[in-house]
Structure 1
Amino acid sequence: MSINNNPTGKNGYGAKNYPSDDILKAALQQYASERLTVAQKRLRLAIEHSLEIGATNLWKLERRFLIPNVRRPPPDEIATEHVLQIVRADINQRRGTGTIMAILANQGVMLPRDFIRKVLQVHAPEGLNMRFPGSGKIKRSQLSARGPCHQFHADGHEKLGAKALTSMGGVGLDIYGIKDQWSSFIVHLVVVPNNRLADTIGHVYLDMVEKTLSIPITMVTDKGSEVGHLFAHQRGLRQAYSADIDVAQFPPVVQIKSVHNTPIEGLWHWFLENSGRNLKDTIVSGQTNGIFHPGDPTHAQLFNYLWPKVLQIQLDNFVTFWNNHRIRTQKSKPNMSGTTPQHAFIAPDPAQAEKCAIAVEQPVVDALRRQIATSRADSMRFVVGPFAEVADEAYKAIGSPDLSNIDEAWNIFGMMLPHMHM
């Protein structure tokens, strides 16, 4: 005679309230992309989906949804081709083993570090030599924060701007980024028409706030005039929602020289190493190959229509890579290490950090937008309405091709040109 020792059907973790299969599968795929440990996956499920399960149930769910695992890699010949695809796309050969592993993980391909290194040793040894420790890495001083959302660092990046693209006749692509200091999480990264305009950066700041309806304790920026609205709105929101925080000890805004704003400046270095140099070479190739004519107004406007879209996809890809990549354990580092920026931002270890986000309300954010003279749509507009409408029709006429492959961007540009009749 069998005895049912668990007549309720509930285990030690209590009754389960599972999210839908689509949501659960997406969450498990995200955790695989970050290469989280079992304990970290269970923690994230509890925080993000109020689902507390044991390791065995987690394993069963991953098997059910066919979540990739580094212990079940594809056959060697297929795995090798995955690695070589990343190598071939890296014109400057700056992506190392960890970077390639993170990029592939975001694509759903889980490969062991040793396997990737062996492929690089055989097929791309020159890249390994270039990345030998000490070969040109920028040295940074240690920084510390209380936890996620204690300090956000913001600044513009102009390595793809008009001054950097000297052969392109005045066109360029400005970028603005915001990064959490403690977790190294990229909060916001966007291509903008001009990162020197206060109205534009004011809207970028409010876009960042709207993502989570919260602000950090402190925004760290440079001393340029473009942060005027950002400065005023951060101070106003701090006063409205956390007047009890000592502004002398924890100021709402700190302004320093860009070269000293190391968390965001260091990010530009990694962006260049991962994607930026390849992007710049590809952009300039349009002029050197005779596709783009700098003196032609139609060419300039079509560049401003097409390339911001192409770049934003690349920025989004970089953000996914960066936030999902694992930062190696550094015992002497005061900020987070040993996990991914995404995991540290969402689920910081209470023994190491405290969550510092200050909640705000949407109507207040809307009211602040109305204080900016230029609307968000106009401040983020790269081309005027009539040209944009013609370009939209031209893009549709050639079949609305995928813009995620930068190697095809100039071909798409060339196909659109015959349709640009104003």
Structure 2
Amino acid sequence: METDWKTNDDLRLELERYVCESTPRKLILQYMERDFSEYQLSLRTLSRRLKHFSLKYVDDDVTQSEVSEAIGKELIGAGKDLGYRAMHRKIRDIYGLNVSRDTVYTTMKELNPQGLKSRQLESKHQRSNDHLFSKGPNWVHSLDGHCILMGYQRSTFPLAVYGCIDTCSRKLLWLRIWTDNADPKLIGKWYFDHIYISRKIASMIRVGRGSETGIMATMQAYITNNIEASSISPMESVIYRKSTSNQIERWWRELHERLEKYFKEQLRYLKDHGLYDPQNVMDRHILAFVYIPVLEREMKNFVDSWNTHRIRRQKDSLLPNGVPKHIFDFPENYGLEQCGSYVSDEILKKAAEMSGVLSVPSDYLPAQVRKMLTEILPNSEETETHKCVDAFLFVQKETKRIINENISTKLL
């Protein structure tokens, strides 16, 4: 037992993940005590085990030129609006560069001093007092759709976002990007997927009164009604509020300023130069094929950065300060309690059958279209952010060529 930790891959991978997230050692220790209770750990022991696995917060072998090159590459792409904490996380995950946040900050200041200054001022101006009260994680989940990338009347570009945030910890629980976010069954399916994976339902959900939330709200009330341990009535388990007063709205602003503005410029360029026709079904398919995987990749990185960043204490706020992920996992450290209720397989099965959410297609593209576009551009999720326009035009050109060849063959 004293040495078997050395061959425990699960332990090594978990430690590696926490180091990559720049999680402080004291917080890592709590996760280890919870998830690997068979091992006796202290801060000194933890430090020795990090050393054994060659896990470092800062790699002394990384040169300044490597850091400058990686950050410079991001500054010409979607990373140009990121703050230094999000940039720090990104160059760790994408480029494998383990450097300090101070190094990232200094490098960004050298490469783009005005941009960094404007982001800091913008962040200060966006802060607002939060008078929400919560008993703890899973007490209230806020859910809402985000349509800023969809353009005029939410119909120009097939790029719709929907997400869920835990009101207490401010941890982003899930985020989806699809060609649509107004289908009640689709929203219900994403909500069901989260409960199925976590096996837990929030005491209450906070949503708007739009038609897209109908099935989700019904499922919340139904499941709550069938949980014996729940102290919340089905009617009270769904809170209807305007989307503008929903807490996730604050996070949408962060997402827009740090990431979406960059992609909006590309989308506007395609449309304004007549390179993309919103009324052309194939153009819409190609746009979704190219952009959704890239946006998923970039948004995942942004979500991970958000969930592991430290929220500072805000004046008059009733919510705890700290790291969202840690607040969510260890509420007792913040004078809170773990809320929500366990959901059995039987209840989940009945909810799925009654709602019909499992009938929702698993792909946003028709199978034949997906097959053709993948043959033209395999691994579209690896497309660099500043090359998305070129990728779209290339796939569009090749698609037209293939369609014209097929038409000619049939005529012959």
TM-score when normalising by structure 2? 0.85
Instruction: Give the secondary-structure state (helix, strand or coil) at the position aligned to 2:312.
Output: coil
User: Which residue in the other structure is 1:130 paired with?
Assistant: 118
Q: Residue in 1 aligned with 2:353?
A: 370
Q: What's the offset of the Cα at 1:374?
A: 5.8
| Counterpart position of 2:336 | 353
The residue type equivalent to 1:83 in the other structure is I
Shift in CA distance, 307/133, structure 1 to aligned 2, threshold 3 Å: closer
Are the equivalent residues in 1 in contact too, given 2:139–2:203 (CA < 8 A)? yes
Amino acid paired to 1:254: I
Residue among 359, 365, 378 paired with 1:383: 365
Check whether the contact 1:34–1:326 (CA below 8 A) recurs between aligned residues: no
Contact persistence 1:151–1:218 (CA under 8 A): yes
- The separation in 2 between residues aligned to 1:78 and 1:217, in whole angstroms, is 48
1:215 to 180, 201, 221: 201
Q: What is the TM-score when the length of structure 1 is the normalising length? A: 0.83
Structure 1 counterpart SS, 2:142: strand
Query: Could you give the per-residue CA deviations for residues 236-280 of structure 1, whole angstroms, max 9, x where no partner exists?
Result: 2112224551449x931111001111x200110111122111122
Q: In structure 2, what residue type is equivalent to 1:260? A: S
Q: Is the 8 A contact 1:32 1:105 kept in 2?
A: no
Give secondary structure in 1 for the equivalent of 2:128. Answer: coil
Residue 246 to residue 171, structure 1, CA distance change in 2 (3 Å): closer
What is the Cα-based RMSD across aligned positions, in Å? 2.9
Seen in structure 2, the aligned counterparts of structure 1 residues 398 and 118 have a Cα distance that, compared at 3 Å, is closer
Which deviations, in whole Å up to 9, do the C-alpha atoms of 1:3-49 show, x marking residues without a partner?
xxxxxxx8xxxx68749543222211221133222221111112233
**How many pairs were matched up?**
398
Alpha carbons 1:327, 1:341 under 8 Å: kept: yes
Aligned-partner Cα distance in 1 for 2:314–2:151:
39
Q: Which runs of 4+ in 1 moved over 6 A?
A: none
| 1:323-344 Cα distance to aligned partner (Å, 9 max, x none) | 2222235586432323x22222
Cα separation, 2, equivalents of 1:276 and 1:36: 27
1:148 matched to 2:137 = yes
TM-aligned CA deviation for residue 226 of structure 1:
1.3
Residue 114 (structure 1) aligned with residue 102 (structure 2): yes
Q: In the alignment, residue 54 of structure 1 is paired with which amino acid?
A: S
Q: Which residue of the partner structure matches residue 239 of structure 2?
A: 254
- 1:285 aligns with one of 261, 269, 275: 269
Decide whether the 8 Å contact of 1:403 with 1:409 is kept in 2: no
Map of 1:99-248 to 2, 5 A cutoff? 99-107=86-94, 108-133=96-121, 136-137=125-126, 139-163=128-152, 170-242=156-228, 244-247=230-233
Query: Which consecutive unaligned segments of at least 5 residues does structure 2 have?
Result: 407-412
Q: CA deviation at 1:202?
A: 1.1
2:300 paired residue number: 316
Who is 1:39 aligned against? 26
Deviation (angstroms), 1:304 = 3.4
Unmatched 5+ stretches in structure 1: 1-9
Higher helix share goes to which structure?
A: 2
Percent identity among equivalent residues?
20
Match of 2:62 among 69, 74, 86: 74
Deviation at 1:148, TM superposition (A): 1.0
How many angstroms apart in 2 are the aligned matches of 1:57 and 1:242?
43
**Worse overlay, 194-203 or 217-226:** 194-203
Residue in 2 that maps onto 1:5: none
| Separation in 2, partners of 1:105, 1:341 | 20
Greater shift, 170-179 or 48-57, is seen at 48-57
Q: Which residue number in structure 1 is paired with residue 9 of structure 2?
A: 22
Partner Cα separation in structure 2 for residue 139 and residue 132 of structure 1: 15
Once the two structures are superposed, residues 174-196 of structure 1 have per-residue CA deviations (whole angstroms, 9 ceiling, x without a partner) of 11100001111111100133222
Cα distance, 1:297 vs structure 2 = 3.2
- Asked if 1:98 is matched to 2:85, the reply is yes
One-letter amino acid of the structure 1 residue matched with residue 386 of structure 2: D
Name the counterpart of 1:84: 72
Deviation at 1:116, TM superposition (A): 2.9
Q: Is the 8 A contact 2:165 2:172 kept in 1?
A: yes
| Structure 2 residue corresponding to 1:59, chosen from 14, 27, 47 | 47
2:86–2:302: 8 Å Cα contact kept in structure 1? no
Whole-angstrom distance in 2 between the partners of 1:164 and 1:280? 15
The code of the aligned residue for 2:27 comes to Q
Q: What CA distance in whole angstroms lies between the structure 1 residues aligned with 2:341 and 2:60?
A: 42
Of the candidates 339, 343, 359, which is equivalent to residue 326 of structure 2? 343
8 Å CA contact retained: 1:73, 1:110: no
Q: Which amino acid aligns with 1:75?
A: T
Q: Residue type of the partner of 2:375?
A: K
| Contact 2:88–2:101, Cα closer than 8 Å, also in 1 | yes
